[in-house]
Structure 1
Amino acid sequence: MKKQHIAAAACLVAGAIGFAAVYSTQKIGKEEVPTEISQTANIVEPTETEKPKPVETEKEQPSEQETKQEPVAEETVLHFDPQGITNWPIKGDVLLPFSMEKTIYFPTLDQYQYNRGMVIRAEEGADVSAVAKGKIIDVYDSAETGHTVVQDLGDGYTAIYGQLKDLNYDEGDTIEAGDVIGSVSATSKYFTVEGNNVYFAMEQDGKPINPMEYFGNI
């Protein structure tokens, strides 16, 4: 019986020794051969190169001239006032009156015809004044009335001044009653017999009207 116990104990000891030997071999193997995890752990991945940040340039500020806006001039609204006609364009005898109801005789032309305006005697170089406040809307040359200015008086009324020179104002200017528009020029060939004069006419919506209806009290 003792012999059996001894033999069993010997087997247990032998088995323990064998297990220890195997465990030691596996441990050494692990130390000598690096595992896949240890290999990848030692690999240093390249870091992403940091891109340089764009340099913000200072925005160019608009110049004072660019930011400063020119004030918009308000358009003057004209209204014709018959009482606003305070003067003739020039004082002088009426050589040829307004006449749209019947023809009158024109000495230089030696014929009868209608007259859309007035022909007023004047000396060359004398001042010609605006009869009312208004805006100059046209300046042109005519064979009949010479250098001519058209003035908008408002509400469809216009004044026309002919036989002028040395104008003081341009198209687009607004002038007051009594302002000197220019001076009397030498007469055109249509009035050589009548002599130097100022041609003056008024219209309402393009139709001639008699200036004497407004000059009667001045």
Structure 2
Amino acid sequence: MNQKERRAARGLQIVAVCCCFCLLAVGAGVTYRAMDRGKAGGSETLQKEQPVTAVQSKTIEIAQAEQQREVEKTKEIKETKEAKETKAQPARKNGQPVFAAPLEGEMKVVLGYSTDHAIYDPTLEQYRTNASVSLSAKQGTEVKAAADGVVKEVKKDAQAGNLVRIAHGEDWLTTYGQLADAVAVKEGESVKQGQRIGTVAAPTKYGVALGEHLIFAMEQNGEPQNPMEKMKTAE
């Protein structure tokens, strides 16, 4: 091979090496751009997915909060209902309310309870049955509710004067007669055992011979009961 041919061969080698370097450079550039796009794409994907995850988390939190509120609301309704039922029902023993005396101190009966036989009424000067008891008490003496209940009636009666009727649940009723005009309760009002409902007044003409007194009566399901047998000292 002469000198001219050797130069031509060397030139071709140089060209081939340069082409190789160019191809390597191009390949590296393509690879770098692909990797960069991949990173950018991955970042965009994460950015797109992140809000979705946050929204889902927020939705779950809202749902849990609403569920908790429903549970608390249901519990509150139940407790309120139970409280009303407890308030409406007096304390009971052996199926009946525990009644306290409507007057403080020792009580003197001036006209007793008697529904099975007639007893003498000194005011009317005759024998008759009596579905209540008349308890001696001076004017101004406080009269108290015998048990928890709801005031069913407040009215003025010709024979019993001002009277108050209190319902104790659905089955029991107490009546307080010969009260002063300034009655301390009104119809529909809830009262507690021992709460002041009024004071004793002067007797009407139908009970004047008994002196100053309180008329006290009890009923169970509309049937008269002897108050002296049902009353218990409030503990």
TM-score range, shorter-chain basis? 0.5 to 0.7
Partner of 2:142: 127
Secondary structure at 2:210's aligned position in 1?
coil
Gaps in structure 1 of 5+ consecutive residues: 1-72
**Alpha-carbon displacement from aligned partner over 1:137-165 (angstroms, at most 9, x marks no partner):** 11111111100000000131100000112
The one of 183, 190, 198 aligned to 1:167 = 183
Please say if 1:191 is aligned against 2:207: yes
Cα offset, 1:122, TM superposition: 0.5
Partner of 2:130: 115
**Alpha-carbon displacement from aligned partner over 1:84-123 (angstroms, at most 9, x marks no partner):** 5352111420011111011110001000101011000000
Please say if 1:98 is aligned against 2:98: no
The one of 152, 156, 168 aligned to 1:141 = 156
Identity, in percent, stands at: 33
CA contact (8 A) 2:183 2:198 kept: yes
Secondary structure at 2:211's aligned position in 1?
coil
**Alpha-carbon displacement from aligned partner over 1:27-85 (angstroms, at most 9, x marks no partner):** xxxxxxxxxxxxxxxxxxxxxxxxxxxxxxxxxxxxxxxxxxxxxx9794433545453
Q: Root-mean-square deviation (CA), in Å? A: 2.2
Matches within 5 A, 1:25-40: none
The one of 189, 194, 214 aligned to 2:230 = 214
Task: Tell me, in whole angstroms, the C-alpha distance in 2 between the residues paired with 1:120 and 1:134.
Answer: 22
TM-score (norm. length: structure 1): 0.62
CA contact (8 A) 1:80 1:157 kept: no
Gaps in structure 2 of 5+ consecutive residues: 1-79
Secondary structure at 2:102's aligned position in 1?
coil
- Rg larger in structure: 1
TM-score (norm. length: structure 2): 0.58
Partner of 1:56: none
How many residue pairs match? The answer is 147
Partner of 1:88: 101
Q: Which has the higher helix share?
A: 2
